[in-house]
Amino acid sequence: MALSDTERRLLDLAGTYFKYPAVRDAKTLAELGLNGTRAAQIVNALLDRPDAEAAMPMEIRRLRRLRDARRGMRRAG
């Protein structure tokens, strides 16, 4: 299954650095009509899809590293 334009744009936004997360959430809402929570859920699901990695390998791997680092920090307490 190929990535949709919305999924590609969402991954682009997720990979872009924003000083404040609220700015990314506002941009996601304005451009895609998704709130921050729903966008994060979709991105998280995309990170585990092989077709997403095939389409955008560098971005997916970088976002996975960030996700794994956040999970590790939460587990460490």
How far CA 28 is from CA of 14, 15, 52, 76, in Å, comes to: 9, 12, 19, 30
Q: What is the pLDDT along the chain (77 residues), one digit of tens a residue?
A: 789 999 999 999 999 999 999 999 999 999 999 999 999 999 999 999 999 999 999 999 999 999 999 999 999 97
Cβ atoms of 65 and 49 within 8 Å: the answer is no
Domain span at 39: 5-76
Residues 6+ apart with CB under 8 A from 35: 25, 28, 29
Cα separation, 25 vs 37, in Å, equals: 8
Determine if the pTM surpasses 0.85: yes
Number of domains in the chain: 1
Q: Which phi and psi angles does 74 have, rounded to 5°?
A: -65, -40
